[in-house]
Copies of this chain bind each other. A is one copy, B any other.
């Protein structure tokens, strides 16, 4: 008997369904207790599946047809009504009606967020769901950064809730028993920043069970200073992409420095062979998968141009979250925080 079922939106993403099917093949052998529902256009998927007898003959894989595909440039607001039979929508519906415990999609982020919000609905008491992703730290641990773009503007209460939800996720997924929660700001001093972060700091300080450590700066995203780093979606999106840009610049320059000189090329090749292993923890593939936190079900967003290995990581993250029933854990924690607030108000 299997324990979990994961729905995969096979049609989303820039790379097409091939990488989803390849990732599924790997997941099938890695997670022998998990069932999968592959959602997408049967006519497109069948020829690909025919190349993978391990999948097409497995009793643990179901193919569910969906006639429509959400394009990467579809407008999120329009797609909800215009494409009722999209593979993305069908995958979310499977989670909503209990047929699946989580879903994974590499499709249009805006559309996924809008559709997930309407289909699964937020956990009672949650103001806004947040997009969260893990960041590698200098000490080898992982931190969580949220929000990454689901909410361009956030008030203090929303930021405080992000801290609570992130704290639950750090405990459940990263196994950090007492996660350090911080607010991202332009300085560590209490006086720094805008009014919203200052108010959010007061709220987080007053939240029982949250280990709020204060403000952190941009360079603390990777310093290991905090386990959960909270900001609005505008700031989080720009900060994360700025880091991607910096990494690209360094990589581009490294390549430029090496090319054109035979000796350097050979040395670099030898050096990188050694690096390949020790840089494994920095491999972006394993960090693929941003969770939509605060909904009644597990929704995992894979990068639009994820490789099969990266998509596999997103599946693995979805399984992790489903296996600890993360939405239920967040529900309990938010309920607890709200009850504490009510009791505080009564005592005042």
Contacts and interface: CB of A to CB of B under 8 A. Distances in A.
Contacts of A282: 249-250, 253
Contact of A238 (B233, B235, B261): B235
B271 A242 contact: no
B186 A233 contact: yes
Interface centre among A184, A187, A223 (most CB of B within 10 A): A187
Interface of A: 136-138, 149, 152-153, 184-187, 192-194, 217-223, 231, 233-235, 237-250, 252-253, 256-258, 261, 263-264, 267-268, 270-271, 274-275, 278-279, 281-282
15 contacts: A138-B252, A152-B193, A217-B241, A219-B244, A222-B245, A222-B248, A222-B249, A223-B248, A235-B235, A253-B278, A253-B282, A257-B278, A258-B271, A264-B274, A268-B271
Copies of the protein in its oligomer: 2
B241 A194 contact: no
Contacts of A218: 237-245
Contacts of A184: 238
A249 B152 contact: no
Nearest to A231: B238
A246 B247 contact: yes
B264 A242 contact: no
B194 A219 contact: no
B248 A138 contact: yes
A222 B241 contact: no
A275 B271 CA distance: 14
A344 B264 CA distance: 60
A217 B267 CA distance: 35
Nearest to A191: B75
A128 to B, nearest CB: 14
A153 B241 contact: no
Contacts of A237: 186-187, 217-218
A152 B257 contact: no
Contacts of A264: 271, 274
Contacts of A217: 237-238, 241
A269 to B, nearest CB: 10
A257 B275 contact: yes
